[in-house]
Amino acid sequence: MEVVIHESTIGHSVGDGATRSDSAKDNNSVPLKTEKFSYSNGNGTADATFRMLPQKTPIDMQFENITYTAVEGGLFSKKNKKEILHQVNGRFPPGQLIAIMGPSGAGKSTLLDVLSGYRIRGIGGTVYINGTARNLKEFRKLSCYITQDDRLQPLLTVEENMEIAADLKLSSDVSKREKNEIIDEILNTLGLFKSKKTKAGGLSGGQKKRMSIALELISNPLVMFLDEPTTGLDSSSCTSCVKLLKELARQGRSIICTIHQPSASLFQLFDQVYVLAAGNCLYQGSTDSLVPFLDTVGFACPKFHNPADYVIELACGEYGYDKIEEMIRATNNGRSLTHFNEPEKLSYGKMLKALHFCVSAEEGNASDNGEEALVATSKYNQLKVLLRRGFIKAKRDQTLTYLRIGVNVMVGLMLGTLYIKAGIDGSKVLDNYNLLFSILMHHMMSTMMLTILTFPAEMSILIKEHFNRWYSLKMYYTSVTLVDIPLSVFCCFIFSVIIYYMTSQPPELVRFSMFFVTSLLVVFVAQSFGLMIGAYFNVVNGTFLGPTLSVPMMMFAGFGVSLRDLPYYLYWGSYISYLRFGLEGIVGAVYGLDRGEIACPEDMYCHYKYPKKFLQDVAVRADQFDNDVIALILFLFVLRISAYVILRYKLMAVR
Does residue 543 register a pLDDT over 70? yes
The helix/strand/coil state of 560 is coil
Greater confidence, 369 or 27? 369
Band of residue 510 on the pLDDT scale cut at 50, 70, 90: very high
The helix/strand/coil state of 7 is strand
Does residue 443 register a pLDDT over 90? yes
Across 504-530, average pLDDT: 93
Window from 4-13, 77-86, 524-533, 591-600 with minimum mean pLDDT = 4-13
pLDDT value, residue 54: 66
Does residue 432 register a pLDDT over 70? yes
Nearest to 527 by CA among 605, 587, 589, 443: 443
Nearest to 465 by CA among 169, 230, 112: 169
Instruction: Tell me phi and psi for residue 433, to 5 degrees.
Output: -65, -40
Window from 10-24, 473-487, 508-522 with minimum mean pLDDT = 10-24
pLDDT value, residue 531: 93
CA distances from 371 to 120, 129, 164, 249, 574 (A): 15, 21, 19, 28, 40
Band of residue 78 on the pLDDT scale cut at 50, 70, 90: low
Band of residue 45 on the pLDDT scale cut at 50, 70, 90: very low
Q: Report the C-alpha gap between 254 and 154 in whole angstroms.
A: 29
pLDDT in tens, 249-280: 888 889 999 988 888 888 889 999 999 999 99
Does residue 358 register a pLDDT over 70? no
pLDDT in tens, 604-629: 778 878 888 888 888 887 778 889 99
pLDDT value, residue 52: 66
**Dihedral class, residue 621 (left if φ above 0, else alpha if ψ from -120 to 50, else beta):** beta
- Break the chain into its structural domains and give their ranges: 3-350, 398-653
Band of residue 40 on the pLDDT scale cut at 50, 70, 90: very low
What rounded mean pLDDT belongs to the chain? 82
User: Domain 3-350, what architecture?
Assistant: 3-Layer(aba) Sandwich (3.40)
Rank 51-55, 190-194, 268-272, 454-458 by mean pLDDT and report only the highest. 268-272
Across 562-591, average pLDDT: 84
Greater confidence, 461 or 364? 461
* Interacting residues of 334 by C-beta distance below 8 A, sequence separation 6+: 88, 89, 90, 274, 281, 284
Q: How many residues does the chain have?
A: 655
Q: Report the C-alpha gap between 216 and 237 in whole angstroms.
A: 19
Band of residue 349 on the pLDDT scale cut at 50, 70, 90: very low
Q: Report the C-alpha gap between 624 and 51 in whole angstroms.
A: 67
* DSSP secondary structure code for residue 437 in this structure: H
Alpha helices for 468-508 (secondary structure H): 473-502
Does residue 13 register a pLDDT over 70? no
pLDDT value, residue 601: 79
Q: Report the C-alpha gap between 9 and 247 in whole angstroms.
A: 17
Greater confidence, 620 or 10? 620
CA torsion 363-368-371-373 (nearest 10°) is 0
Band of residue 116 on the pLDDT scale cut at 50, 70, 90: very high
Band of residue 46 on the pLDDT scale cut at 50, 70, 90: very low
Window from 5-14, 293-302, 623-632 with minimum mean pLDDT = 5-14
